Homo-oligomer: A and B are copies of this chain.
Amino acid sequence: MHTFLQIVEICDNFPYPDSSAEFSNVVPLTLNKTKIGILLPSTIDILREYNSRLDPAPLEISEKNVTFSAHITNFQERTEAMKQLFDTLRSEKKFAALEGWRNELYPVYGDINHPFNVAFVMERAATPILGIPTFGVHLNGYVKTPEGVIKMWIAKRASTKPTWPGKLDNTIAGGITYGFSINETIVKEAMEEANVSADISSTAVPTSAITYFTVTKFGLQPETQYIYDLEFPVDVRPKPLDDEVECFYLWDTDEVKKNLLEGNFKPNCALVVIDFFIRHSIITPDKEPDYIEILTRIHRRLEFPNPKMI
């Protein structure tokens, strides 16, 4: 059994500058002096070798900074440079992260001259290599009994999923792909993952967002999840539709809490549940000694540009 704070620390595991010198040698990826990503020194070595093969070279690489070369000036040129870079590194098998290639374009933010503050788009699987912040949406589906007691719809991930097979998940969740709004992402994922129609999923209400910074074997992942709550009608049940979800459980909050503290949730989904527990007075400051630290950790300041008007 873990504490709630330990569960948070499993996900928000990039060290804070005042607590550890580990990762103090990371280098920013910048665009017009704005930090849009963060790079491990080992990644820079690979980028430098790639860069040396091309004329003109697409990147300017120094000890303290990596950025696009001066001839790469706009959305299309940045997008094309990134496509060439990762198509090449993928074929050369330079990064384990690229073995999970998804053919899904993610926006990278930091150009206020482009709609939504998007600077370019790139393959989703490559984002941890450049420490690019990513954005998704997670939805807590729940029912309220006539007595006002909350039960939560919890998904169990399919045992065949490449990431976190068999772990518990929020009712509906997904990354926000380029071109989709938050609301469109919810409606799409609700149908694909849980067979929930748009007239139900569109009643979800935004209640929060969480931010955290995860280090994985694939790289650096500063992540933001917009959080929505959806009170399900009692006669509507989420049902697996694609092969992402094995089944859905309708659990009282004690059962959810037990599974959460046993580490049975996918780590970032656990944070979404903890945020729900705090907002719904299931985790309370008179009982939880780490209440404040949990709240600040799940709202970590990430120092990167955010989307403008998704």
Residues in A lying within 8 Å of B, measured CB to CB: 16, 18, 181-183, 205-209, 211, 224, 226, 278-281, 284-287, 289-293, 295-303, 306-310
Contacts and interface: CB of A to CB of B under 8 A. Distances in A.
Contact of A295 (B183, B209, B278, B308): B209
A20 to B, nearest CB: 13
Given A289-B308, A295-B299, A296-B300, A279 B207 contact: yes
B306 A211 contact: no
A281 B209 contact: no
A287 B307 CA distance: 12
Contact of A181 (B280, B286, B291): B286
A279 B207 CA distance: 4
A292 B306 contact: yes
Contacts of A308: 289
B295 A211 contact: yes
Nearest to A133: B292
Nearest to A298: B299
A205 to B, nearest CB: 4
A235 B280 CA distance: 25
B206 A296 contact: no
A183 B286 contact: yes
15 contacts: A182-B285, A183-B286, A206-B284, A207-B279, A207-B280, A208-B278, A208-B295, A209-B292, A279-B279, A286-B309, A286-B310, A289-B309, A292-B307, A293-B306, A296-B300
Contacts of A298: 299
Nearest to A135: B292
A144 to B, nearest CB: 14
A296 B299 contact: yes
A293 B13 CA distance: 21
Contact of A211 (B205, B289, B296, B307): B296
Given A224-B292, A286-B181, A301 B297 contact: yes
B292 A207 contact: no
A246 to B, nearest CB: 30
B310 A278 contact: no
Contacts of A279: 207-208, 279
Nearest to A226: B285
Nearest to A291: B209
A285 B302 contact: no
Contact of A285 (B206, B292, B295): B206
A301 to B, nearest CB: 4
Contact of A286 (B206, B207, B280, B281): B206
Q: Which 8 A-B pairs have the closest CB atoms?
A: A299-B299, A205-B281, A296-B301, A292-B306, A289-B308, A206-B284, A289-B309, A296-B299
